[in-house]
Amino acid sequence: LNDNPSPYKITLTGTVKSPKISFDPPFLLLMPVPLDVKSEATFSIIPEGYLRHSRIQVELPELQLEDGAKLCPFAVQFPEGQDIVLSSDGTNKPLSCHISFRSAQPVSGLGKMFFTDEEEN
């Protein structure tokens, strides 16, 4: 320090935590409903480790009908917004997410919904 050799060595170590999200409840089942009737549920997205502003995006699955046509019967809304906010105590505020399903035609299938941030985490 100050161009003087020092007999002391400083070693710094650390860990990098990648941001992640979890869901509450961790599993969601929408109830079967008659044709053209909406089935819906609300859940929380719990962000962890976000140190700066980010925005959650969702990719919805398309389901294939018997005639080969594709349909996206799902809709997702974020009633309080989809921005991840860092609070004054250093934690991230949970996001409320509302999901719905409606189809005028009989459909069943298995699909994945992808919730990602701006960096595709």
pLDDT higher than threshold 60 for residue 26 = yes
- Burial group, residue 79, by CB count within 10 angstroms (0-12, 13-18, 19+): exposed
In a domain, 28, yes or no: no
In a domain, 20, yes or no: no
* Domains held by the chain: number: 1
Structure tokens at 84: 């991840």
In a domain, 6, yes or no: no
pLDDT higher than threshold 60 for residue 1 = no
DSSP tag of 82:
S
Residue 76 pLDDT level (bands cut at 50, 70, 90): very high
pLDDT of residue 79: 96
DSSP E strands: which ranges in 1-121? 20-24, 39-48, 54-55, 57-59, 63-64, 70-71, 74-77, 83-84, 95-101, 114-116
CB count in 10 Å sphere of residue 45: 19
Pick the more confident residue, 79 or 66.
79
Give me the domain span that covers residue 83. 34-116
Kindly report the average pLDDT of the chain as a whole number: 88
Compute the average pLDDT of residues 99-110. Answer: 87
Least confident of 1-5, 7-11, 49-53, 69-73: 1-5
* Cα separation, 65 vs 68, whole angstroms: 5
In a domain, 8, yes or no: no
Residue 83 pLDDT level (bands cut at 50, 70, 90): very high
